[in-house]
Amino acid sequence: MTEAWITLVLTALAVASDAVAVSISSGIARGRATWGESFRMGAVFGAFQAAMPALGYGAGALFRGAIEAYDHWVAFLLLAAVGAHMIAESLGEDEKPRPNPFAWRSLVVLGIATSIDALAVGLTLALLAVPFAVAVGIIGATTFLLCVPAVHMGARLGSRFAHRAELAGGIVLIAIGAKILVEHLAG
């Protein structure tokens, strides 16, 4: 395996890490998950993780400074908003129905939030000696393959710790957003 391919695989794993953490948190918050829900989450997250580098690659020449200047703020605000909502829901009445993290609206918001930092990755894909379409496909497939089992792992944890699971999931989403923000502001 050449250095470019190793770099691509490591990049795909790194880019997928936020989506995997959100998949675990969603499984925890729900306390259960069907295979259909986990495949849907993996597919949406994989699609966004593949699309964002493609957009970043395409728009890189025109908007490089703007993307790098604000991507971390957008990701932080989206994840913080979803996390705060989960925390508020966890502190509310138990009889109230919980929002479904696997609903299409939630999946799209989370997919965007976890993949915004992948825009910057798209700017660097041209530097790898790997075909662009292959690189984007590997990033999307890696995210999908990691997120599906992550949902079920989180669901197993959630069924054991359901009384605090949604609170923890909200805190994790806010922490992921803060991590993205701090990494970009510090480096």
Q: What is the pLDDT of residues 111-123, one digit of tens each?
A: 998 887 777 677 6
Looking at residue 149, what is its pLDDT?
A: 95
pLDDT tens digits along 141-167: 999 999 999 999 988 876 666 556 667
Looking at residue 96, the DSSP 8-state letter turns out to be S
Distance CA 137, CA 143 (A): 10
Contact in structure between 182 and 54 (CB atoms under 8 Å): no
11 versus 124: the higher-pLDDT residue is 11
Looking at residue 114, what is its pLDDT?
A: 84
Residue 31 phi/psi, 5-degree rounding, is: 80, -10
**Confidence category of residue 126, pLDDT binned at 50, 70, 90:** low
Average confidence (pLDDT) over 123-129 = 65
Looking at residue 179, what is its pLDDT?
A: 81
37 versus 77: the higher-pLDDT residue is 37
**Confidence category of residue 35, pLDDT binned at 50, 70, 90:** very high
Residue pointed to by tokens 């990701």: 75
106 versus 118: the higher-pLDDT residue is 106
Domain boundary assignment for the chain:
3-186
**Confidence category of residue 138, pLDDT binned at 50, 70, 90:** very high
Judge whether residue 106 has pLDDT over 80. yes
Amino acid type, 123: L
Looking at residue 48, what is its pLDDT?
A: 95
Nearest to 166 by CA among 107, 93, 78: 93
pLDDT tens digits along 163-181: 566 677 678 768 877 887 8
